[in-house]
Chain A
C-alpha cells in the first residue's frame, strides 16, 4: 500500500530534473558569482587586496614600467564579497555569473594595470596617479598641495614649515 502511495506521489510531482545545459537555469537574485573589477573606476588603492581572505587579489608595483598591477585570480576566490564591501569606489563587484570552467589557468585571471605616481620631492613611486588625483579633488583647497607628497616627504615638509612658524 505504501509503495503505491509513493508511486502516486511521484506521478503527481512529475519530472524534477532541470534541463540545465540545454536551457538556462533561474539564477538566484543575490547569488555571489564571479568578481569583476571595473578598470575605469578602480584607483589601485589596495583596499580589496587587504580585505581578501584567500589572497585571490594581489597587488604588485613594477618600478621599471612604473605600473601597479592588481591581479585577481578567480581560481582562488571564495566569493565572500569582502572586496565589494571594502572598495571605496565601487569598482569591484560580484556578478551572478557562475559558469567559470576554463581549460587554461591563464583564463582565470583579471589584470588591472595602473600608472604609478611619483613624489615630486624624492621621486619615489608610492601610489597610483588616479588615487592621488581623486584624493586631491576631494580635499579642501589649502590641503591639496601637501597631499601630492609621499608620506615621508610630507612629514619632513610639514615639520620644516612648523619650524619656520616657531621662529
Chain B
C-alpha cells in the first residue's frame, strides 16, 4: 500500500487511553527513534494532519470530541490505531463505558453516514516505538507487512480414528452392564 508518497503529518488523538501508548508515541518522535527523519511531524490541529495516531478504547465521554476531530481531518486520511485498546478494545473491551476500540467508533461513524477511513492496526500494550514506526512505514509503503493470519484445522481422518479407539477402549472395559440411558445422578441419588 502506498497511501502517502510524501511526509506524513500526524495528529495525536487520545480517546481515553491510559497514557502508555501516548508516551510511546512521544518516544517514537524523540531523538532516539527519531520519526521526524521519516517526515513524520506532530501537528497541533487535525486540520493540518494527514494521519491520526489514535490511542485508547474510545470512552463515551470522549466520543463527541473524537468524532469531531476525525471529521476535521481532510481527505485522504489514514488512521493508525495504536495499542491494544484502539485495535480491539484491549482490557476494557466489554466495559459499559467504552465503545471497544476503533471498531466501535466506526460503527458510530457509519450510523452518522461517514465512511470509515483507511486504518492500520498497530497492536501492543503499549507498542514499542519501533512498532509504531513500522506502522508508519507500512502506511508510507516503505515496509512490508510481517503479520499474517494463520489458521490450523485438525484433519478429520486420524482424529475420528483416535476417537473410535477410545470408544473401543471404553466398551472393552465396560462390556454390557451399562446403566440405561435415562440413568442420571440427581441430588446424589442414582435413579433408573
**Chain A residues packing against B (C-beta within 8 Å):** 16-18, 20-21, 25, 34, 39, 53-56, 67, 73-79, 97-115, 117-118, 120-122, 129-130, 132-133, 136, 144-145, 148-149, 152, 155-157, 159-160, 163-164
B46, CB-defined interface residue at 8 Å: no
Q: Are B159 and A103 in contact (CB under 8 A)?
A: no
Who on chain A is nearest to B185 by CB?
A155
Spell out B's residues near A (CB within 8 Å): 1, 31-34, 37-38, 84, 87-91, 93-94, 101, 103, 119-125, 127-128, 130-131, 133-135, 137-138, 142-143, 145-154, 156, 159-160, 162-163, 166-167, 169-174, 177-179, 181, 183-185, 190
User: Quick check: A117 and B166 within 8 Å, CB to CB?
Assistant: yes
Partner of B147, one of A108, A132, A136, A164: A108
Q: How far is the CA of A67 from the CA of B163 in the complex (A)?
A: 13
Give the chain A neighbours of B37 by CB distance below 8 A.
17
B51 CB to closest chain A CB (Å) equals 13
B163 with A118: CB separation less than 8 A: yes
User: Quick check: A16 and B31 within 8 Å, CB to CB?
Assistant: yes
Q: Are A98 and B152 in contact (CB under 8 A)?
A: no
Collect the chain A residues with CB atoms within 8 Å of residue B154's CB: 39, 67, 113-115, 130
Please list 20 pairs of residues, one from A and one from B, whose beta carbons are closer than 8 Å in the complex, sorted by A's number. Answer: A16-B31, A21-B143, A54-B90, A74-B123, A75-B123, A76-B84, A101-B146, A102-B145, A107-B147, A107-B148, A108-B87, A108-B123, A111-B152, A114-B159, A115-B163, A145-B173, A149-B170, A156-B185, A160-B179, A163-B190
